[in-house]
């Protein structure tokens, strides 16, 4: 008995027309930059880990290192310094916490960056594979315009909120914390500030937040040009 082999062509996605050349156009190129910059924004902020170090001298202890490790989302009020020795300086050393809870600003910034990252992926898929559908349906450009305007505003708010929180984090983990530590005021106890982890990556996250804000703000014009609003205004200006 013979067998008949039938080879069927692979199914095609309805309306899919892949054109990577659209990445060279302003709309696609800027969207790719927004996608890359969003990665740097949440990676530089969300991946940070650091610690503050003090040198403590008390009864039977000389220049003992005590540390408080902190990280994203920067709930510093839950971070406690280690004790100088098992006897806790003869009972004069109590649990010492850092001051401040900056999780709302940090999480707002990182969450926005992650959502932007996901939206940029979806937008690039539409631009590259379904640009003709995007242009034929007026709702898609208008929706894209609305999201672009809202996102630019959210980048503005989240970046400035995170920048202010970062300044407060530096104050809450720097040398200025020593006067507020009651255990360091006990008789025979002295505390000296030793070091704090450099926060260069957090500074970079603020810079990328500003860059994202500029990118999304500038992209409003290019998205607007694809909407009916721009086409209508062009026809009105050209009519006698």
- pLDDT tens profile 96-139: 999 999 999 999 999 999 999 999 999 998 888 877 776 677 78
| Residue 83 belongs to a domain | yes
Which of 40-49, 83-92, 160-169 is predicted with the least confidence, judged by mean pLDDT?
A: 83-92
Contact residues for 151 (Cβ-Cβ < 8 A; gap 6+): 112, 116, 119, 216
In the numeric block, the tokens 């969300």 are attached to 46
| Residue 179 belongs to a domain | yes
Mean pLDDT of all residues in 203-232: 86
State the pLDDT at residue 28.
82
State the pLDDT at residue 237.
47
Structural domain count, the chain: 1
| Residue 10 belongs to a domain | no
Full residue range of the structural domain in which residue 129 is found: 38-229
State the pLDDT at residue 18.
65
| Residue 175 belongs to a domain | yes
Q: How far apart are CA 93 and CA 82, in angstroms?
A: 10
| Residue 171 belongs to a domain | yes
| Residue 204 belongs to a domain | yes
State the pLDDT at residue 129.
80
| Residue 106 belongs to a domain | yes
| Residue 155 belongs to a domain | yes
State the pLDDT at residue 19.
63
Q: What is the pTM of this model?
A: 0.83
């Amino acid at each position: 008995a013979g067998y008949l082999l039938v080879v069927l062509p692979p199914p095609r996605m309805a309306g899919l027309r892949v054109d990577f050349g659209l990445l060279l156009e302003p709309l696609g190129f800027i969207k790719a930059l927004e996608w890359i910059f969003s990665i740097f924004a949440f990676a530089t902020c969300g991946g940070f880990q650091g610690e503050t170090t003090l040198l403590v001298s008390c009864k039977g202890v000389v220049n003992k290192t005590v540390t408080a490790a902190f990280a994203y989302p920067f709930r510093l009020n839950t971070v406690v310094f280690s004790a100088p020795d098992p006897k806790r300086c003869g009972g004069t050393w109590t649990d010492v916490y850092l001051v401040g809870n900056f999780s709302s600003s940090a999480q707002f910034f990182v969450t926005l960056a992650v959502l932007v990252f996901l939206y940029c992926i979806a937008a690039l898929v539409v631009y590259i594979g379904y640009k003709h559908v995007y242009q034929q349906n007026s709702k898609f450009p208008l929706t894209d315009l609305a999201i672009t305007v809202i996102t630019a505003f959210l980048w503005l708010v989240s970046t400035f909120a995170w920048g202010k929180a970062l300044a407060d984090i530096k104050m809450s983990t720097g040398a200025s914390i020593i006067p507020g530590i009651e255990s360091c005021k006990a008789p025979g106890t002295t505390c000296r500030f030793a070091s704090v982890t450099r926060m260069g990556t957090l500074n970079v996250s603020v810079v990328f937040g500003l860059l994202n804000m500029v990118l999304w703000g500038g992209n409003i014009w290019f998205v607007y040009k694809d909407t009916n609003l721009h086409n209508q205004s062009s026809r009105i200006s050209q009519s006698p």
